Amino acid sequence: MKQVLSLTGLLLAAMCSGVVSAAETAAEQLKYKLARLNSYQASFQQTVTDATNKQVQTGEGYLSLKQPALFRFETISPTPNLLIGDGRTLWHYDATLEELKVYDAAKEVDKTPFVLLTSSDAKLWALYEVTGQGETFAITPKDKNNPVQKLTLQFSGVDLAKMAVASQDGQTSSFEFIAMQSNVSIDSSQFKFVAPKGVDVDIVDLRGK
């Protein structure tokens, strides 16, 4: 009996080890993919579906990434919105309300897996589980209270071709990238918020909260 239990334990340990190794491999593969993107910019078409997979909204916009820790995510339609991060500060500008919310990036960084696109921070990656097959990877927060339940990335060679964001409310936002440009020169000034000319922006500074 002891021998049987011992063999069973060894089998279970081997199985668990295989699962861990697979997870580590997927994470390392994704890190390698992202590390090759020193910079990236593209326009996108967005489709939002509800929990029943019914289409509820479409839109378009632009995404820019630059290593390390720089990103600019801008929707043009249906509602203009701008999210910019430089590793220290997050700016969220609502063009309709002419309101800018400013956040401390360090306090917000664990609330969205988007930051993994331009980060190699091991502590940050440890907050997520990564699975993958071929050119597609799924990033799932270990914190079940995270508003983003899963981020899926699909590559085409070096380029990021598609992205899907599944949220707690059951909605999924899918992004198909077009006019993709990888490892091109992007002016770092794009990753700082500048108020539109002639607009009196209402600033809500949340960095101390």
In a domain, 13, yes or no: no
**Is residue 17 situated within a structural domain?**
no
Show the beta-strand stretches assigned E in 157-201: 159-167, 172-182
Position 37 in a domain: yes
pLDDT at 24: 63
Total tally of structural domains belonging to the chain: 1
Residue 1 clears pLDDT 50, i.e. is over it:
no
6 falls within a domain:
no
Domain with 106 in it: what CATH number? 2.50.20.10
Q: Note the pLDDT tens digit of each residue in 116-169.
A: 888 888 888 888 999 998 899 999 999 888 888 999 999 998 899 999 999 988
CB atoms within 10 A of CB 21: 10
- Is the confidence at residue 11, as pLDDT, over 80? no
Decide: 204 and 193 in contact? Cβ < 8 Å.
no
Give domain status of residue 201, yes or no.
yes
Task: Using alpha carbons, select from 43, 34, 55, 76 the residue that is nearest to residue 173.
Answer: 55
In a domain, 33, yes or no: yes
Domain hosting residue 103, numbered range:
24-205
pTM of the model as a whole: 0.80
Mean pLDDT of the chain: 84
The verdict on residue 89 lying in a domain is yes
Question: Domain for residue 166, yes or no?
Answer: yes
All residues at 6 or more sequence positions from 143 whose CB lies less than 8 Å from its CB, including other chains: 110, 127
